[in-house]
Amino acid sequence: MKVGWREAAFNDGWTYRDRVPRADAGLLVSEWLADRYRHSDRAVWQQRIAAGELDWNGALLTGDRALHGGETLFWRRPPWLEQAIPDQWETIHDDGDLLVINKPSGLPVMPGGGFLRHTLTALLEHAGALPVHRLGRFTSGLQVCARTPQTRALWSKQFRPDGGCRKVYQAWSQQVPGLELGQCLTVSSDVVERPHPLLGWIWGPEPFDDVPIRKRLSAHSELELLERTAGGDRLQVTITTGRPHQIRIHLAQLGSPLLGDPLYLNNREISESSTPGDGGYRLHAWRLSDLPNLREINLQVDPPNEGDQALRNSIRREK
């Protein structure tokens, strides 16, 4: 095990609570859960019911049955193995309340995607701090946390689309056609919620074909080309809106997905076998600016040199 890593370990399990809409009356419990949690089919949910893992309105569910609508289901998920994670980071700023760290790639910020205790949120318990926003698991860089509810509320407001905060990233992508060194390109296409076989719905670029779209969010990204290699572009990407997976989606929308992104592909396609938590891409939260409460604080952290050098070496080997 590498220094600074937490070994894979079992957690203590978790209880999930779901309220069934009235409109879903008549569906079997296993059918409803399989549609809500696409990672497991009906047969798996029937096995869980038989194993005594589910409650219906607080009482043990002894067999699959039709829903009436309005009931509450509890799934007592047994302990599961959480993957190893990096558990050490550099502190960029700490005034006793506001805490800004350089989050390593591979560390989930909040529970989800198979992680419960192996998260930054859990690791910060000893420091009495909580994350203000969420970086993707494999996005490195500036992660803002705070110890008091007042400070978390203040920073959360500034991270909203109308809050004024400019978040500057570095990203390695496939070459962006027509973009030259020092030039800027603005992307203002919507981020849309579209179907996904594993998750039900997922945020992504607007598809070319006639795919159902459930929601739309306006998004704004500014790209500047910092470096061009035969294998890809190193970009500065500035965002103010901070939509889910916005940079990954906007680059895929342009036809230049992040190098190594397993989910967002060429031609605005989305992999049917990947999820947002899968890694392989390089994205780094580089700078935060236009925050009036920063005063003289400079929030900037450069990407890890070893990662960029490894990527350049990989690109050279592929040439």
Q: Among 128, 159, 190, where does a domain finish?
A: 159
Q: Does residue 240 carry a pLDDT above 90? A: no
- Say what the pLDDT of residue 31 is: 97
Q: Do 68 and 95 fall within a single domain?
A: no
pLDDT at position 210 is 86
What percentage of the chain reaches a pLDDT higher than 70? Answer: 93
Give me the pLDDT at residue 319, please: 45
pLDDT tens column, 29-79? 999 999 998 889 999 999 999 999 999 999 999 999 999 999 999 999 999
What order of strands is seen across the sheet that includes strand 191-196? Answer: 200-204, 191-196, 215-217
Q: Is residue 3 part of a domain?
A: no
Same-domain status, 69 and 184: no
- 178 lies in the same domain as 61: no
Domain total for the chain?
A: 3
| pLDDT tens-digit readout, 83-116 | 999 999 999 999 999 999 999 999 999 999 899 9
- Two structure tokens written together for 142: 């500036």
Domain, as residue range, for 155: 87-159
- 282, 212: one domain: yes
192 and 288 belong to one structural domain: yes
- In angstroms, rounded to a whole number, what is the distance separating the alpha carbons of residues 85 and 119? 8
Alpha-carbon distance 270 to 280, whole Å? 15
Reported pTM? 0.88
Domain closes at, from 159, 194, 217: 159
CATH number, domain with residue 112? 3.30.2350.10
Same domain (yes/no): 152, 291: no
pLDDT in tens, 284-308: 999 998 876 666 677 999 999 755 5
Scored b (16 or more CB within 10 A) or e, 265-296 reads eeebbbeeebebeeeebbbbbbbbeebeeeee
Residue ending a domain, among 127, 159, 191, is: 159
Do 191 and 267 have their domain in common? yes
Decide if 201 contacts 193 (C-beta within 8 A).
Answer: yes
Distance CA 105, CA 5 (A): 12
pLDDT for residue 150 is more than 70: yes
Q: Are residues 175 and 274 in the same domain?
A: yes
Residues 310 and 234 placed together within one structural domain of the fold: yes
285, 88, 96, 304: CA torsion to nearest 10: -30
Q: Mean pLDDT for the chain?
A: 92
* 281 pLDDT tier (thresholds 50, 70, 90): very high
Residue 258 has pLDDT above 70, yes or no: yes
How distant, in Å, are the alpha carbons of 16, 42, 164 from that of 276?
Answer: 21, 24, 26
The per-residue DSSP string of 160-210 comes to STTS--EEEEEEEES--TT--TT-EEEE-PPEEEEEETTTEEEEEPPPSS-
Residue 43's domain is classified under what CATH number?
3.10.290.10
Domain match, 143 and 175 both: no
Let me know whether 91 and 103 are in one domain.
yes
Confidence (pLDDT) at 242: 86
pLDDT of residue 295: 62
Phi and psi torsions of 270, nearest 5°? -120, 130
